[in-house]
Structure 1
Amino acid sequence: MTGDLTAGEVLARRAARHHLLTPAVEGPAAAARVVCGVHAQIMSAAELSLGLRVAGATRSHVRRALWEDRTLVKTFGPRGTVHLLAAEDLPLWTAALSAVPRPGESWADEVRLTPDRTEAVLAAIVDALRGEPLTAEELGEAVVERTGAWAADPVLPAFGGWWPRWRQALGTAAHRGTVVFGPDRGRRATYTHPMRAVPGFAPADQQTALRFLVRSYLHAYGPASSDHLARWLAAPPAWAADLITTMGDELEAVTIQGAGPLWQLADERPAQVGRPPAEPPPAEALPGVRLLPYFDAYVVGSHPRDLIFPGRAADRALNRGQAGNYPVLLVDGVVAGVWHLRRSGTRLAVTVEPLRALGEARRRELEEQVERVGHILEGTATLTVGRLSVGPHA
């Protein structure tokens, strides 16, 4: 065991690496890389997550990086959820994520794709995406034409309706590097082959990719345990523990205020480790007041949970232990409330529910953050402080 870290040291390190102290200047792709991708099931939340981390950025900068500059790519990332990743890193992400064992499927036998049928769907997706981007309906028709009517069976409950059977394989196709999202066609998403989005794309060597995965995660979220890594990936804990052991001397064990052991990168050891306990970091080493949107990477990937969601914050801002279902008010690196945004044209009504009273200085910081949210989302934001009745996002 190398040493013991204070909670303040860990919070300051993570906040700095997430560009919550000083926004990055390199652009949205650099910000996405350092946080291991940005959850993008709600695109406005992804735009805000990246905008908060890039100096002067708005949602237009994020959209340009995604659809014009192609420095970002939209695909299925960790946990099989939709993410924005740095396009340059896609070969590493696909090689790493395709190596992650999928947990036991919860689908009944009559719903689940068999291994043979999964491979048939995957081959059909590759063949169908040789041309222009396709909507989900168009891709589904192409898959059914190449496989059989069974692929179209509406067996998957989704958003109040039913998805066809073949959709079970879409995330696997993304992790194998054979599909990413294309530009929206009106209100409909499209899918395309990664080579159209990232010229010259080819998955990387798997061992290199898994090392990249562990190092990227621990840089952004360390110190962390193998169980934390497994939860972030939705991977079997035993597999994640074995993966950690392959890193050898690249990792070292530490504790946070006596709790652990947890792992951090040995070549990123803070100066305090192994020395007498340090004084708490100065106030300027913590991010002050921040408004983080749904599924922001800082709260989703950070453990232990009670470090980020202390006391009442766990009851108010977690949903059955899951982080991200509420936008959160962050004060000095920890969750101190929840908030909600209602948009009407360019008018943005922001309601914030703090878990404790905000002093005058914090209130001014909050007003500045609301103004920044308005700038990023290209609207005019107003602030109301009060109780929220909005429930968690699914």
Structure 2
Amino acid sequence: MEAGRAHTFLITGGCGYVGYRLACSLRQKGTKVVLFDTVPPNQELPEDIVFVQGDIREYAHVEKAITGVDCVLHLASYGMSGREQLNRHLIEAVNVQGTQNVLKACIELGVSRLVYTSTFNVVFGGQEIKNGDEGLPYLPLHLHPDHYSRTKSLAEMAVLKANGAALEGGSGVLRTCALRPAGIYGPGEQRHLPRIVGYIEKGIFRFVYGDPSSLVEFVHVDNLVSAHELAAEALTSEKQHRSAGQAYFISDGRPVNNFEFFRPLVEGLGYPFPKLRLPISLIYFFAFLTEMVHNLIGPFYNFQPLLTRTEVYKTGVTHYFSMAKAKVELGYEPQEHNLDEVVQWFRSRGHGKNPHSSSLGRLLLDILLVSAFVAVALSFLPFVGS
């Protein structure tokens, strides 16, 4: 890289929630930023941030976007939650082939740094993990309960394996690292929180499940943005390439029960927190049946499952990780956040309990939910004694 030339960062999936937030943070630090995504951002872009529209599955599009950049922050992925988790073909194409396209373009175009946004799920598949670290092995691919987690594992393996690959033209080597974030939250998050608020407002959030002592983790978007910036910096010669070839767990560093984490959101919007607690095995089986139904009618009616099996495990089974490696090698220091700003964000957009909501509607919904769970429970009976 030429001395004195400003760094240019490309963010794949750059128009998503984290990508856009990351772009704005980098811009404030004087970095040139290019966003690559299939659709433009739904927020107005500052004039000095460049948007390149394209599909990560198409190498020519990736090649065009990466030309002239110094560092790639690869956030683009598909299939993280809900019905997206059931679209196997698209998940494979985006997460695996898309990542191969990014790696190929980096090597051919002389890009020396690549930070990959991975997931806790590369090591987690429903087993209990307490204060795990990066020494944990990848979960065997055939044990992943969903295509997203399996393909993210394949992609992370490919990215880390590419560390040290010679760049074409004799311009050095590619240095790579991977971040494994927890569940992401923050004001304006558009993937998980609106779905949760929708369940709350429709009266579906009437129960919790699993052991009340189970613990999971979350990461505020600003902490995740900071981790990306630190990881990219740690790939430079000035930092002795200390993050090269490494993976890092990234969270707020505060394990918490999944449902207790969301209590301030539920109550902040004016709704009572559920008192009914159901066994996780029952919810898992309900999710399994829902997925089977989706496989049958999804091609005709692509409905949103209440929960998928993976979501049941991720929310109801203890799994949390040490931040020690990220703190020592990246200088990562997560700042403390809570859901107050999230509650205010939703309230400012007209969300919150309607005191005139229909008691008859709530009664009918309760009857429907109870009937559904009775049906699921009865479905176990033919297997007894078999």
Q: If the length of structure 1 is used for normalisation, what is the TM-score?
A: 0.26
Higher strand proportion: 1
**Which has the bigger relative contact order, CA under 8 A and spacing at least 6?**
1
Q: If the length of structure 2 is used for normalisation, what is the TM-score?
A: 0.27
